[in-house]
Structure 1
Amino acid sequence: MAFADLREYLSYMNKNNKLIEIDSEVSTDLEIAEITRRATYNRLYPLLFTNVKGYPNWKVVSNIFYSIKGIYDVLQTNDLEGISKRFLEGFSEMPVTIIDKVRSLRDVLKLGKFTPRAKKPSFKESNLKLTDVPSLKTWPKDAGRFFTFSITITKDPESGVHNLSVYRIQVLDEERAIIHWQAFKRGSIAAMRYKEKGITKVPIVIINGVDPAIAFTAASPVPVGLDKYLFAGIMRGEGVEVTELDNGIMVPANAETVFEGYVDVNEVREEGPFGDHLGYYTPKDYFPTFHLTKSFSRDNPYFHVTSVGRPPLEDAWIGKGVERIFLPFTKMIVPELVDMNLPEYGVFTGVGIFSIKKYYPGQAKRAMMAIWGLGQLSLLKFIIIVDADVNVHDLNEVVFALSTRVDPQRDVMIVNSVLTDSLDFSTPSPPLGSKIGIDATRKFKEETGREWPEEVASDPSVAKKAEEIISQIKSRYPHV
């Protein structure tokens, strides 16, 4: 079942006793963000603030992605890998890239089930200004109020492909805001393509309050070239209902608020500081300015926010959802891949653990180089490759592999002067830094110069008898 909009999702959660209404008066200045963080840390259900100080006509929603179970609620399944597996089953051939694969399906099936469909909007034109929205100040030393889960929509000037991304947006005044899109993000790339065509005012739209499956897609590292509306349709199992604005950009027809405008690529302003998902304040830097030209709103709108900081918060659980959904896509590019783990405390782009079926010497290093070539995974600072029999989600098993199968000089690879997460302050010259890959697999003779030692294994009959005796002991001493 796909939710038509944010309101239908909230109704569903309320009927299932999974929505926490907070009617105490709360402020957008630090209070909502603090309550949200504590709720996420405690794995509480989504929060609905109904009494926001200074905003009597608004309700604020947060903590939608409260744990991996929150992802299950949003996508109405706990088989996240199955979403992409079912989609990929539609292909009879194995094109070179995922984009080729999607194009081949479009040629055959026209992707009718997943493509966006036109619908009359639920919102109407309004006099809403950027400062009229209950945006948050998240941390005490933040530069001001920010949109933290609003979605920025751009359209590639050549392909017409739409991109929906979650960038933090610092509100300056009624009609101006600063959009924090880093150089390698799809919004920034689209802007550069407009500039190459001599267009300095890039049309964009900022929306808020949609079906959370669309919000999840906007926060996901969908491969460049693939329209995010299409991918949102895959996540939902049906196409997104959209309406086209005067600037040619399609927006979800049931969005709560819509800000239409443009970014002037020649006009940048100092943004930040902002307490981000690494648990530190991001220093000030220069980013483009958004100018509001027209606004739309539903009656008595809802505003969707999040609060970031030290993990695991909502972004960590979004990352775990992305990990599961994108595993089949990643296996398509790296066929020896068995499983992957992007640990919650690895802040999504910090640490990745991957298991492979190893058939030949040097394969682990080959796999890590392939992974560093894949979208958001290219930003991983640490990659650990283990054998297929290692459970990548059991860190003790991973540590055992590191301790018994790694020679630091032979099995550790450091790559210098490559693209890293721009928010990673530990790098000397962001966004350029270094990465480390660790081969924690068993080694072939060609890799060590000698045969790998035989691993200990119990005698089967003795092991069976021992297990029977241990079971008897456990039944006699259940509390041991």
Structure 2
Amino acid sequence: AYDDLRSLLRALERDGDLKRVKVEVDPHLEVGEIVDRVNKAGGPALLFENVKGSSMPLAMNVFGTDRRLLKALGLKSYSDISDKIGGLLKPELPQGFVGVREAFGKLGSMVHVPPKKVKSGDAPVQEVVLTGDDVDLDKLPALFTWPEDGGSFFNLGLTHTKHPENGVRNLGLYRLQRHDKRTIGMHWQIHKDSANHYQVAARRGERLPVAIAFGCPPAVTYASTAPLPGDIDEYLFAGFVQGKRIEMVDC
């Protein structure tokens, strides 16, 4: 699996499976129409380098085919990982010494991939930090994708929350509606874990801290969407998929 999104994009470009779009595109409907058309045709990932109103490039359709998703996760087929996951979530009782040894081997594969915290100085995400009046969500390319949409959205921001009482964390993928340069609306359904964290915080009369990350390692993005049991940590699962510990840093 690829450790970061940039490495994946470079690999896709080498394979001829990523196209750069250098002309200016409008995030209001135009980008969405282009990506919808290319995706339905089984086309490549797209890197829009000139998005109207933003200086940031926009990668789209990166996981739009089975081929690219498998490549991103370092897999040859989905069965490669489904068998491993099934063995962890529904383990059979070990039979004999060999069975016990194999069972400990499965558990060991999880023990060695928990997330690890790194120092701020070692984290690329901390190279540019904006605070106070410098915070401006309008600098990010938010998309108005469908004619009946309620506004412009950030569609692949991974939302990190912690349960206010027991500290259990959750990573989920929810649509984020931009309201103004400092405010977004969180579109999470009431049955989602992060929504539950918010409800607990509201009941306690507290505000819920939330961190949102863009451009995460492919395994982390995948883990945020995987239908995992509530007691399975998404970052641990991402490390299991990637075969390497996920690095985390304080906001």
TM-score by length of 2: 0.84
Aligned residue in 2 for 1:214: 220
Aligned residue in 1 for 2:77: 79
Aligned residue in 1 for 2:62: 64
CA distance in 1 between counterparts of 2:214 and 2:5 reads 10
Aligned residue in 2 for 1:22: 21
Distance 1:58 1:143, change over 3 A: same
Letter in 2 for 1:182: Q
CA distance in 2 between counterparts of 1:148 and 1:50 reads 18
Deviates more, 1:150-159 or 1:17-26: 150-159
Structure 1 runs (4+) greater than 6 angstroms displaced: none
Alignment of 1:408-427 (within 5 A): none
SS of structure 1 residue aligned to 2:114: coil
Q: What CA RMSD, in Å, does the superposition of the two structures yield over aligned residues?
A: 2.4
CA distance in 1 between counterparts of 2:41 and 2:56 reads 26
Superposition deviation, residue 37 in structure 1: 0.5
CA distance in 2 between counterparts of 1:92 and 1:143 reads 42
Preserved contact between residue 116 and residue 229 of structure 1 (Cα < 8 Å): yes
Q: For residues 175-207 of structure 1, what are the alpha-carbon distances to aligned partners after superposition, in whole Å with 9 as ceiling and x for unaligned? A: 1111011110111111122234x1430111111
Aligned residue in 2 for 1:268: none
Superposition deviation, residue 84 in structure 1: 4.0
Distance 1:93 1:169, change over 3 A: closer
Superposition deviation, residue 94 in structure 1: 4.2
Deviates more, 1:156-165 or 1:199-208: 156-165
Superposition deviation, residue 238 in structure 1: 1.6
Of 174, 179, 204, 1:172 maps to: 179
Alignment of 1:335-350 (within 5 A): none
- Gapped regions of structure 2 (runs ≥ 5): 94-102
CA distance in 2 between counterparts of 1:17 and 1:59 reads 19
Kindly indicate whether residue 226 of structure 2 is the aligned counterpart of residue 235 of structure 1: no
Preserved contact between residue 162 and residue 229 of structure 1 (Cα < 8 Å): no
Superposition deviation, residue 240 in structure 1: 1.0
Preserved contact between residue 110 and residue 240 of structure 2 (Cα < 8 Å): no
Letter in 1 for 2:211: V
Aligned residue in 2 for 1:473: none
CA distance in 1 between counterparts of 2:150 and 2:161 reads 25
Aligned residue in 2 for 1:416: none
Letter in 2 for 1:64: V
Aligned residue in 2 for 1:396: none
Distance 1:51 1:110, change over 3 A: closer
SS of structure 1 residue aligned to 2:111: coil
CA distance in 2 between counterparts of 1:25 and 1:234 reads 40
Superposition deviation, residue 145 in structure 1: 0.7
Letter in 2 for 1:73: K
Alignment of 1:123-134 (within 5 A): 123-124=125-126, 125-126=129-130, 127-134=134-141
Of 198, 207, 218, 1:201 maps to: 207
Kindly indicate whether residue 137 of structure 2 is the aligned counterpart of residue 139 of structure 1: no
Identity among equivalent positions (%) equals 29
Letter in 2 for 1:217: A
Higher strand share: 1
SS of structure 2 residue aligned to 1:203: coil
Superposition deviation, residue 21 in structure 1: 0.8
Of 152, 157, 170, 2:159 maps to: 152
Preserved contact between residue 182 and residue 188 of structure 1 (Cα < 8 Å): yes
Distance 1:111 1:234, change over 3 A: closer
Letter in 2 for 1:232: A
Letter in 1 for 2:21: I
Kindly indicate whether residue 124 of structure 2 is the aligned counterpart of residue 122 of structure 1: yes
Preserved contact between residue 154 and residue 177 of structure 2 (Cα < 8 Å): yes
Superposition deviation, residue 111 in structure 1: 3.2
Q: For residues 46-76 of structure 1, what are the alpha-carbon distances to aligned partners after superposition, in whole Å with 9 as ceiling and x for unaligned? A: 1100111222x31100001222212212111
Kindly indicate whether residue 47 of structure 2 is the aligned counterpart of residue 48 of structure 1: yes
**Equivalent residue pairs, number:** 233
Q: For residues 2-34 of structure 1, what are the alpha-carbon distances to aligned partners after superposition, in whole Å with 9 as ceiling and x for unaligned? A: 322111111111122211111121011111111
Preserved contact between residue 53 and residue 139 of structure 2 (Cα < 8 Å): no
Letter in 1 for 2:28: D
Letter in 2 for 1:209: G
Superposition deviation, residue 131 in structure 1: 1.9
